[in-house]
């Protein structure tokens, strides 16, 4: 490629976004349609948290329904994209993972397929999923992104999926607007991303609202990994922003 592939983070929110059409899913679809066609996709999902790390090596990764209490239509959803075992081995090398960390027992969880079904609905592009590891610190996840950076020159879209603000215990089903702490933390992290402020991002836990806005480290880890992919000259842009139920940020962004 003459230009490196952009990298992106999607705030995926509820699994229901897989089968709903709304402002968020429409923005994801528009973003996917505007991208150069990737050779493959590497998805870093908040919903695969593995001590020691992992990468999927399936030739045909299954669609994993890792949730409960949703309509039958969601459980019937499939995203039949192929895998890429050779790319999985390359990623294992880049991340210094033992070959035993190439998993044939996992597949594409909802952090990945609920987003990709809108970005690339044909499910024709090979997908490899990479685990987060919340036994490690924030700097580890920034470095995970850095280590995957060379893939951008090989036509690979590296896609993070989580939420900048994610607190299910604080859901407010009557809320039309974000809670004040949600709005503050989301805005401050977006500003740090725009100015490429590594210290603020890796040190996000020191933000005065972090304890309530980002108690789930696995949902913030993909933000850090994508930020770690940034190169000099890359621009930061918001794909879509907004809030769900007061305590979830739906902000999605792209670098490139």
What are the structural domain ranges in the chain?
Answer: 7-255
Q: What is the pLDDT of residue 122?
A: 98
Run of H or E residues at 44: strand 40-49
Reported confidence tier of residue 75, pLDDT bands at 50, 70, 90? very high
Mean pLDDT across 224-252: 97
Is 130:191 a contact under the CB 8 Å cutoff? Answer: no
Q: What is the pLDDT of residue 39?
A: 98
Residue-wise pLDDT for 212-232, tens only, equals 999 999 999 999 999 999 999
pTM over 0.85? The answer is yes
pLDDT of residue 176 exceeding 90, the answer is no
Residue-wise pLDDT for 54-69, tens only, equals 999 999 999 999 999 9
Please state, in angstroms and rounded to a whole number, the distance separating the CA atoms of residues 140 and 118. 30
Q: What is the pLDDT of residue 73?
A: 97
The pLDDT > 70 percentage for the chain reads: 100
Mean pLDDT across 143-169: 98
What's the topology of domain 7-255?
A: Protocatechuate 4,5-dioxygenase; Chain B (3.40.830)
Is 130:186 a contact under the CB 8 Å cutoff? Answer: no
Q: What is the pLDDT of residue 47?
A: 98
Mean pLDDT across 76-82: 98
| 178 CB-side CA count, 13 A | 22
pLDDT of residue 1 exceeding 90, the answer is no
Reported confidence tier of residue 172, pLDDT bands at 50, 70, 90? very high
Mean pLDDT across 98-108: 95
Q: At what angle do helices 23-34 and 110-119 cross, to 10 degrees?
A: 70
pLDDT of residue 72 exceeding 60, the answer is yes
Is 178:186 a contact under the CB 8 Å cutoff? Answer: yes
Q: What is the pLDDT of residue 2?
A: 73
Residue-wise pLDDT for 7-19, tens only, equals 999 999 999 999 9
pLDDT of residue 91 exceeding 90, the answer is yes
Average pLDDT, the chain: 97
């Amino acid at each position: 490629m003459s230009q490196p592939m952009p990298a992106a983070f999607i705030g995926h929110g509820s699994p229901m976004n897989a089968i709903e059409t709304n402002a968020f899913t429409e923005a994801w679809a528009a973003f996917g349609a505007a991208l150069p066609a990737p050779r493959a996709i590497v998805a870093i999902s908040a919903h695969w948290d593995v001590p020691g790390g992992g990468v999927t090596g399936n030739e045909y990764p299954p669609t994993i329904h890792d949730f409960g209490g949703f309509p039958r239509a969601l459980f019937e959803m499939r995203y039949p994209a192929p895998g890429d075992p050779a790319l999985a081995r390359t990623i294992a090398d880049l991340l210094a993972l033992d070959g035993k960390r190439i998993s044939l027992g996992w597949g594409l969880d909802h952090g990945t397929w609920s987003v990709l079904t809108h970005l690339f609905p044909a499910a024709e592009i090979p997908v490899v999923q990479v685990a987060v590891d919340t036994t490690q610190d924030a700097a580890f996840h920034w470095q995970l992104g850095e280590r995957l950076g060379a893939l951008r020159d090989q036509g690979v879209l590296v896609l993070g999926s989580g939420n900048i603000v994610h607190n299910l215990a604080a859901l407010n089903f009557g809320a039309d607007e974000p809670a004040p702490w949600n709005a503050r933390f989301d805005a401050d992290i977006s500003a740090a991303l725009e100015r490429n402020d590594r210290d603020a991002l890796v040190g996000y836990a020191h933000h005065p609202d972090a304890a309530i806005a980002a108690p789930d480290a696995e949902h913030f880890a993909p933000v850090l990994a994508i930020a770690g992919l940034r190169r000099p000259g890359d621009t930061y842009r918001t794909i879509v922003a907004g809030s769900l139920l007061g305590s979830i940020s739906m902000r999605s962004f792209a670098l490139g």
